[in-house]
Amino acid sequence: MTRTILSSIFVAALIGYCSAFAPSQSSVRETSLSMAPRFDKTSEKWITDVPEEMEGSSYGPIGTLYRAGPKPFFTRIFNPDTYDQAVLKYMAQDGCDRKEAQGNMDAFLENPQDWGFQKVSEQNGAYKKDYANA
């Protein structure tokens, strides 16, 4: 299993390296990623201008408590900026909406090993777990 994971990482790195020499499709990227959260290098934070992606636009801390339990709930209460930055980063990297990103972040904070195992299983063809509506 470890060999499979390592070979998958190697193939992904090779594809990324090879795509660096492909011609740029800036018009496609601008339209598909213009709405995604972006990293502001001056403030070193993830930001968004879209109201549907801002903090408070999805479920609140009680929703986190209901979906994932006390660990992510307390993280969200005592470290709200760190939590929000993690959600925005997940949204930007995965290309999902805020509710799905919050569900995944809550599941990760509750049990990182199970969440990681589920993500690897999804990449290998298993069903995609819906953490947002759990």
pLDDT means per 10 residues, the chain with 134 residues, are 54 49 39 63 79 70 92 94 92 90 95 96 92 82
b or e along 19-52 (b: 16 or more beta carbons within 10 Å of the residue's beta carbon)? Answer: eeeeeeeeeeeeeeeeebbeeeeeeeebebeeee
Has this prediction a pTM greater than 0.75? Answer: no
Instruction: State whether residue 41 is helix, strand or coil.
Output: coil
Dist CA 33 CA 96 (whole Å): 11
Which two structure tokens, joined as six digits, stand for 13? 């790195």
